[in-house]
Structure 1
Amino acid sequence: MSILVVTGTGTEVGKTVVTAAVAAAALAAGRSVAVLKPAQTGVGPDEPGDVAEVRRLAGEEVTGAELARFPEPLAPATAARRAGREPVRPAEVARAAAKLAEEHDLVLVEGAGGLLVRMDDEGATLADVAGLLDAPVLVVVQPGLGTLNVTALTGEALRSRGLRCEGIVIGSWPAEPDLAMRCNLADLPESAGAPLLGIVPEGAGGLGDAFRRAAPGWLAPALHGTWRPPAGD
C-alpha cells in the first residue's frame, strides 16, 4: 500500500488525528510519509490547517501538501462556489497523490467530512479519487450509539463502487466507554465489512511529543502499529 485514502463517517470523528497516528506509526517503522489534503475548508490564509496539525503531531519529517483552501467551513464544493473559485477535482488530486507516491513509501490522502461529500458541482467525491488511484480507503468512525448505521452506509457505498475498505479506526475512544461503545467493538467490523484496525484515545491530539511514541500502540500491524483487538472481539 503506497497510497491510503482516509475518510470518516462524518465530521469531527477524529480523522486528522488518526491520519497523524498512521503517519507517526509509519515513520516509526522506517517509512517515508506524505500527507495530502485536497481541499481545506474553514481556515484562513495564514492559519494552520489539517496538514499542519498532522505534521505537528507526527513530526516535521512528514511531507505536507494542500491543493486548495476555502475560508468557510462548508463542504468543498459549496465552499469553492461561495468563494468564487474553481473546486478541486478528483483528477487533480490523483495526479498530486501519484507524484508524492514516487518519492514516499506512504501517501495519506485525507478527505473532508465523509466519503460522499461533494468536491465539485458535478458531484465528484473522495470515492472518485480512490477509484482513480485504485487505492484502499481507511474509515474513521465514532465509538458510540448511532455509529453502526453510518459505518454500514459508508461500507456499502465503498463496495458499490468497487472500492476496498482497508479497515476502520475508532477516532476518539473515551477513558470510560459506555455499554454501547463496548458492544460496538465487536459490532463495528461487521457493520463496515472490514476489520477494526485501531482505537485512538480521546484527547490524543493534546499529547504533544508523546503522541509519536504512543501512536504505534493504537494501530494494528496493517497500519504499522502493534495494537491488537481485545480477546473475544
Structure 2
Amino acid sequence: MPHHKSNTEPSYKPCQVLPDHQVPYAIWFEDTLHHYGVPTWKFDLYLLVSDLDKEAELLVKAGWVLDSQAPHQIGNSRVELPQQRLISPTSKTITVLPPAQEWKFPLMESPDDASSTTDSHENVSFPPLPGFLDVLVESWLDSPSDDAMLLLHLACHISYLYAYVPTLKERSFAEQIKCEHRQSHFDVLAGMQTGNIQFRKHQRAIRDGLLRGQY
C-alpha cells in the first residue's frame, strides 16, 4: 500500500540531499500533478535521476534505507522498469528513483537550471509542464499494450492535466509541446473520447507518420 505523506515530515527532504551533491533531479508523477493544480493525493515521492545506484547511495548515507523487498511499482502497476525504492529515516514515506533516461526526460546540468517552485519553504525542482506532458504522452503511446494498469495510470495523469490545468487550453501551449504530439493535443481539446485503445492506436499512427515525415 502506498505511504501517505505525513504533515509533520518534510515531504521533499530528498530534494535537499541531492542538490547538496550537485545532483540534478525532477519530481515526477502525482507530486508534479499536484504542483500544477491537479487535486490529487500525493503518495510515494518519485524523483527522476541519472544514476540510480549513485543517487540511492547518497540518500542511504543521509539516513534512508533501501527497500529491496517491495516490487517495482508505478501507481498500482507492477513494472519491470528499473527503479530504487527507499524508506525515509522516520519510516513514514517512500522515495522512488526511476532513471530519467527510461522516461526520455533530459535532466538539467544543474538543479538550479530546472523549473522550480517553493513548497514547505524548500526550493524543489519540477519538470516544465510541456515537457511533463510530452513524456506522459510518449510513454502512454509506447508502453507495452499488455500492461493495462500502467497504461491506465499514464492515461489518468494525462486526463487530469487536461481537466484541471487551464494552461493546456491556451493557444500558445501547443507551440511548446513536441510537433508529433500536437494532433493528440488538438484532438483532446476538441472533445474526442481519449484514453482508450482506439484513441491510442489512432494517435500512435499519426505520431509515427509525423516522425517519418509523411504529413
TM-score, normalization: structure 2?
0.30
Structure possessing the higher relative contact order (Cα contacts under 8 Å, 6 or more residues apart): 1
TM-score, normalization: structure 1?
0.28
Higher relative strand content: 1
